[in-house]
Structure 1
Amino acid sequence: MAGGDAQVTENKYSILLPTYNERENLPIIIWLLITYMDNSGYNFEIIIIDDGSPDGTLEAARQLQDIYGEEKIVLRPREKKLGLGTAYIHGMKHATGNFIVIMDADLSHHPKFIPEFIKKQEECNYDVVSGSRYVGSGGVYGWDFKRKLVSRGANFLTQLLLRPGASDLTGSFRLYKKSVLEKLVESCVSKGYVFQMEMIIRARQFDFTIGEVPITFVDRVYGESKLGGSEIFQFAKALLYLFATT
C-alpha cells in the first residue's frame, strides 16, 4: 500500500472552475473542495477562470483567496464571456498539476466525488475518469421531465451514432491526465455544451482509457440554467458533424 501513499504525495491535482455569475455559489463550492481534498490528503490547487461576471464573482474569488491563500486559490480571470472550451485551455496553461479536474461551479457537481475519481484513476492508470449520471448509483436531482428527456435523448443518440464506450457524454465533471487533456483540447473543434461530448469521442479515437464513477447531478441552486433551445440545436449539428468526421 506504500506505493499508493507515495502516489498521493507526488501527484498534484489542478481543479479548473470556469465561472460566470456564480457569486453565491463560489464560497460554498470552494469550501467543499478544500474540505474534501484536504481530508483526503491530496496536493491540489483551484484555478478560478471568471469570464467578466457582472455580479461580483471575481471580488468574491479574491476574498476567498485571502482566506485560503494564493497557493490553493489561483485567479486567472478573463475580460468577457469566451466559452467553456477556451476557459479550459486558459486554465490549463496556468495549471501546475499533472492531473486536471474539470467541473461546474454552480454546485451541480459535488466535490465529494473527486477523491473517488482519483481512486478510480489509480486503479487502472486511466487517462480519463468521467463522472456518470447513468451508471450504478448515479442520477439527476431537480430536473423536470423535459430536461431529463433532452439529456437522455442526447445521450442515446450519441451512443447510437458514435459508440463512444462511455455512458455519460454530455456531463462535464471529469478528471484527466494533463497531457491527455492537452491533446484532446487541441483536437476538439466544438465550443460550449457539445465540447464535453467531443472530448470523450476524441479520447476513444486516440485509444485513451476511460474510467467511470457514478455521480449524482443536482440542478443549480442559485442562478439561471444555461441550457436552452439554441444549445439543443448546436448539439444536434455537432453530433452530425462528429458522426461524419470520426
Structure 2
Amino acid sequence: MSDKSDLEEIRKDDKYSILLPTYNEVENLPIIIWLIVKYLNECYIDFEIIVIDDGSPDGTLEMAKQLQMLYGKEKIVLRPREKKLGLGTAYLHGIKHATGNYIIIMDADLSHHPKFIPEMIRKQQKDDYDIVTGTRYAGDGGVYGWDFKRKLISCGANFLTQFLLRPGVSDLTGSFRLYKKDVLEKLTQSCVSKGYVFQMEMMVRARQFGFTIGEVPISFVDRVYGESKLGGSEIYQFAKGLLYLFFTSLYKRKTD
C-alpha cells in the first residue's frame, strides 16, 4: 500500500480506460472490479472499466450488468461480443469505446493485482513513457501459485524469446500494461498475431517503432477461480508466433 506522499505524486488531469477482456470469469469479475475501484479511488484517479465479454456461457455478462448497476454506467462500460474473436480484436474493440487518454490492459482472473496500477501510472508520468509494462522477471517481481513444471515452461519461454528477439524488456509475454492511447492504437493495428502471441508481438513492434518502455515489478498469482486457458494449442501457437517474429525481425534488421 502506497503512503500519502506517493499518492500525491500522481497527476490528476488524466483519465485511464481499463480494458478487461473476459471469457467465463463470472466468479472473478466482481472481485477484480472491486479491487480496481478500491485502489484507484484511493489515489483519486479518473478511470473507467470497459468489460469486453466474448459470449461467455457462464453468466459473466449478466454479472457485469449487475456490477454496472452497482458502480454506475460511467465507471463500468459494457461492450460485449457474440463469440471469442481473439485478444487483439478485443483490445481494438475496447479502444473504440475508450474515453481515457491512457489505456490499461490486464487479465480479469485475479492474476494481476490492481495495487500495481498506481505504481505504473507514477512510472509513466515520471519519465513520460509510451508504455509501462508489469514484469515478473525483474526486481522483486515473481510468480506465485504455479507448480514447478509451469514455472519451468514460463521461464524457458521467456529466456527463448529474450535470446531470439532481444526486445529490451524483461517480460515479453506479460499482459499487464499501461499505454498511451494513440500508441496502443498504432500497435494493435500493426500486429498480425492473435491469442497469447499478440502480447509478445506488441513489445517487438513497440521497439521497432521506437516507443519508450518502462517496467514495474509485479507479483503474478495463478487464478483462484475458473480454469486456465493455456493449453497445448496455445503452446503450439506460441512457438509458431515466436519463429514468425524472429524471422520478420531479422529481415527488418537486414533491410534497415
Q: Do both proteins adopt the same fold according to a TM-score greater than 0.5, normalized to the shorter chain?
A: yes
Q: Does 1:154 align with 2:157?
A: yes
Q: Deviations over 1:56-82 (max 9, x none)?
A: 111110000001000000000001111
TM-score by length of 2: 0.93
Secondary structure of the structure 1 residue equivalent to 2:66:
helix
Give the whole-Å Cα distance in 2 for the aligned partners of 1:233 and 1:58. 30
Instruction: Give the 3 Å change call, closer, same or farther, for CA 6–224 of structure 1 in structure 2.
Output: closer
- Partner residue in 1 for 2:88: 85
Equivalent positions of 1:1-246 (< 5 A) are 8-246=11-249
Please identify runs of 4+ aligned residues in structure 1 that moved more than 4 A: 4-7
Give the whole-Å Cα distance in 1 for the aligned partners of 2:44 and 2:218. 21
Q: Which runs of 5+ in 1 are unaligned?
A: none
Secondary structure of the structure 1 residue equivalent to 2:83:
coil
1:159 Cα offset (Å): 0.7
Give the whole-Å Cα distance in 2 for the aligned partners of 1:27 and 1:62. 11
Give the whole-Å Cα distance in 2 for the aligned partners of 1:194 and 1:42. 31
| Alignment length (residue pairs) | 243
Secondary structure of the structure 2 residue equivalent to 1:88:
helix
Equivalent residues of 1:8, 1:41 under 8 A apart: no
Q: Deviations over 1:140-170 (max 9, x none)?
A: 0011111111111111111111110000011
Amino acid in the other structure paired with 1:145: F
Amino acid in the other structure paired with 2:33: I
Give the whole-Å Cα distance in 1 for the aligned partners of 2:189 and 2:28. 30
CA RMSD for the aligned pairs? 1.2
1:8 Cα offset (Å): 2.6
1:7 Cα offset (Å): 7.0
Amino acid in the other structure paired with 1:234: Q
1:126 Cα offset (Å): 0.3
Equivalent residues of 2:10, 2:122 under 8 A apart: no
Give the whole-Å Cα distance in 2 for the aligned partners of 1:26 and 1:158. 31
Give the whole-Å Cα distance in 2 for the aligned partners of 1:143 and 1:163. 26
